[in-house]
A and B are shown apart, each in its own frame.
Chain A
Amino acid sequence: MNKSVSRREFLINSARLATTTTLIATGLLSYSKYSYSLPAKAIRPPGALNEKAFNAACIRCGLCVNDCPFPTLSLATLKDDVALGTPFFTAREAGCEMCDDIPCVKACPTGALDKNLTDINDAKMGLARIVDTKGCIAYQGLRCEVCFNVCPIRGKAITIEMRHNKRSGKHTMFIPIVNYDHCTGCGKCEQACIMEEAVIKVLPTKLAMGKRQDHYKLGWEEKQKSGKSLVSPDIEHKYNLPEGKKYDLQGKGLTDVKVESSLDNALDTLNKFNPLFDIKSK
């Protein structure tokens, strides 16, 4: 009798505890889903593992924040949309200054910031993209180049491409181009962008980059890699144009050519006016 009562009590108590725990767990699970969706504007410190691994590894001690010599890094509070207590920075407010000795990575006790990152230029905190070419005044033909000039890897991560200004017909546009290979995602460009809302933004690498399937091979790259063309025979492209016509790719396009004397062989006639031959002879 006694025994059955205590067993009954035990079962009821266990069920009660299990219910309470499950209730809390359910709430916590749904909160965590919301909590761990990192907004695009929040950037992790250099060397941060991919977001999933980072959320397992970071214990929110703030040692990286303490050792950051600039007011860049902070730990998320409840008013940020970032998982509570995890370190992040917002490029528009303060970009990463890319210290040579990477003190934040050194300070991390758990390896959430990967110690294998020893050269700050190898960091991939994100990727800067000009998200609004209409908004960017350089694309409108105005001189700016602020992002190019503040870039810590100046001349590599952001280069200036000169383009013809079609609108005016006589000016050059100085277009900033972000280069994937060198951009660390430090965010100095976004911070410095002089537009009211930055037109160059650091995005999470995943968001900023597409991915090409492996079966797309770029012939010229493959050629360089293997030392010879993978396509055989490796022939120069030729235009098969009728007599008296000439095609200039960079110039005026299809034009008439005055034929001085006709040749017997039709193929010779065609090749004679092939612009590629002209280039070769130059």
Chain B
Amino acid sequence: MKKKINICQKTGLDAQKSKGWLGANKYLIMRRISQLSILFVFLLGPWFGIWIVKGNLTSSLTLDTLPLTDPYVLLQSFFAGHSIIKDALIGALIVIVFYLVVGGRVFCSWVCPVNIVTDAANWLRCKLGVQNKGGGITSKTRYWLLAMSFILAFVTGSVVWELVNPVSILHRGIIFGMSFGWGLIALIFLFDLLVVNKGWCSRLCPVGAFYSLLGKGSLLRVSAKNRDDCTDCLECFSVCPESQIIRPALKGQGSDIILDGNCTNCGRCIDICEPDVFSYTTRFKKNTTK
């Protein structure tokens, strides 16, 4: 049997040659800046006493005026039997509208701190050449876990998923105190590195599953506008956290816009594509050239 070349190890090298290091990592750098600065703004209060934002990602108050609430957690609370009051509802609506514009799973790639952890695991997995497949855990699992989180909330009458949700544990932990929470985050890292390839964010996480449903109708999209220039290098498939979403737009006969709700709009495919096949667009922008 022929030894497979690990695509991930050469991904982006061609793009780097033609576009330069910065050009081939533009959106990755912007994402890291976005993720870290959001975290940093939250930490300004507890660390330096500069209270621009209070709270954490599940609910926050910016400059004592702008309320933001995670609609997923609020929905769990609703299923647990709590009637939602105005304050939280306004915050959740603002968040929903925002992600309907920029893409539901933009939360995952531009905001969520766990993304840094799993991206690091993925990077190391590639470097070390660790072979791990899905192991029977498909990307559908997250929707089952999403449903489970609501059902458990209903059955127990409490917001059960938040006891183990790594997303809130990590973000809240960094701001309010982590203790053994680091253990769980380390587990997620090792799980992605050793057990299941892109296991947490792309297969299991119900937060991502929730935001992917929002993303089904969101405005900002990635399009394979120049798909005729595709050289079949497969690098975009390798780098995409949700590689199954690319094919219809890149190789299909229909629209060249990636309409799948699971596209996180991370822009990594735009970065690493040497012939610049991909670009950001809106879902309504029809490509008329073909």
Binding site for B on A (CB under 8 A): 13, 16-18, 20-21, 24-25, 28-29, 31-32, 35-36, 52-53, 55-63, 65-67, 74-75, 77-79, 83-85, 107, 109-112, 115
Contact = CB atoms under 8 A, between A and B. Distances in A.
A260 B95 CA distance: 96
Contacts of A36: 156, 158
Contacts of A79: 179-180
A62 B152 contact: no
Give 9 nearest A-B pairs by CB, closest first.
Answer: A61-B59, A55-B158, A56-B80, A78-B180, A77-B179, A57-B82, A66-B54, A56-B82, A79-B179
A109 B77 contact: no
Contacts of A78: 179-181, 183-184
A77 B73 CA distance: 18
Contacts of B51: 66
Interface residues of B, number: 60
Given A61-B60, A84-B163, A109-B59, 7 more contacts: A52-B157, A61-B58, A62-B56, A62-B176, A63-B61, A66-B54, A78-B181
Contacts of B179: 77-79
Contact of A75 (B82, B159, B177): B177
Given A77-B178, A77-B180, A24 B55 contact: no
Nearest to A112: B82
Nearest to A87: B176
A16 B141 CA distance: 9
Interface stretch (B18-26, B84-92, B111-119, B211-219): B84-92
Nearest to B151: A25
B136 interface: yes
B101 to A, nearest CB: 23
B67 A77 contact: no
Contacts of A61: 55-56, 58-60, 69
A52 B151 CA distance: 17
A59 B58 contact: yes
Nearest to A52: B157
B164 interface: yes
Given A77-B178, A109-B67, A110-B87, A59 B160 contact: no
Given A56-B77, A74-B176, A31 B88 contact: no
Given A55-B80, A67-B54, A110 B169 contact: no
A85 B169 CA distance: 8
Interface string B160-177: 111110001100110111
A36 B54 CA distance: 26
B59 A110 contact: yes
Which of B54, B82, B84, B183 counts the most A-chain CB atoms under 10 A from its CB?
A: B82
Nearest to A77: B179
Contacts of A13: 138, 140
A270 B155 CA distance: 71
B93 to A, nearest CB: 13
B148 interface: yes
Contacts of A62: 54-56, 172, 175-176
B162 A59 contact: yes
B248 to A, nearest CB: 20
B164 A53 contact: no
A85 to B, nearest CB: 6
Contacts of B256: none
A66 B178 CA distance: 16
B268 to A, nearest CB: 28
Given A53-B82, A109-B91, A28 B56 contact: no
B74 interface: yes
A84 B69 contact: no
B33 interface: no
A79 B59 CA distance: 23
A84 B59 contact: no
Contacts of B275: none
Contact of B163 (A31, A53, A109): A31
B107 to A, nearest CB: 16
B173 to A, nearest CB: 7
B288 to A, nearest CB: 37
A24 B148 contact: yes
B98 interface: no
Interface in B46-67: 46, 51, 54-56, 58-61, 67
A95 B144 CA distance: 43
B180 A63 contact: no
A182 to B, nearest CB: 29
Which of A13, A60, A83 counts the most B-chain CB atoms under 10 A from its CB?
A: A60
